[in-house]
Amino acid sequence: MAIQARAEQKRSRGQFGYGAYKDEPWSLQAIEKRVYAVRDFYNSVRVLDNPADAPHVKGALSTLRLLIGYKPTHVPRVRDSK
């Protein structure tokens, strides 16, 4: 692969977007990080009804934890020392 200017590089779309992990689904940590960001935003603007604190959101995260599992998906593999 030759070095090219960023504007000249062709991005290929994967099943779940672009980038190094474009063909891997989001991990539960990535989903929770976005929910927590919404929760923190609404807490910072002092809105009374925070949608991220709703019981159905917490229930959905609990269900996802059971279905997906709570493990990192992008852990690099260790090479053999041989």
Q: Is residue 34, in this structure, part of any structural domain at all? A: yes
Q: Is residue 53, in this structure, part of any structural domain at all? A: yes
Q: What is the pLDDT of residue 33?
A: 87
State how many domains the chain has.
1
Q: Is residue 32, in this structure, part of any structural domain at all? A: yes
Q: Is residue 76, in this structure, part of any structural domain at all? A: no
Q: Is residue 27, in this structure, part of any structural domain at all? A: yes
The Cα 25–Cα 16 span in angstroms is 6
The Cα 40–Cα 46 span in angstroms is 10
Q: What is the pLDDT of residue 5?
A: 73
* Torsion of the alpha carbons at 30, 33, 37 and 40, rounded to the nearest 10: 170
What is the chain's pLDDT, residue by residue, as a tens digit (82 residues)? 567 677 666 788 888 888 877 887 777 888 888 888 888 888 888 767 788 888 888 888 888 888 877 766 666 666 666 6
Q: What is the pLDDT of residue 31?
A: 83
Q: Which domain holds residue 47?
A: 22-68
The Cα 77–Cα 63 span in angstroms is 29
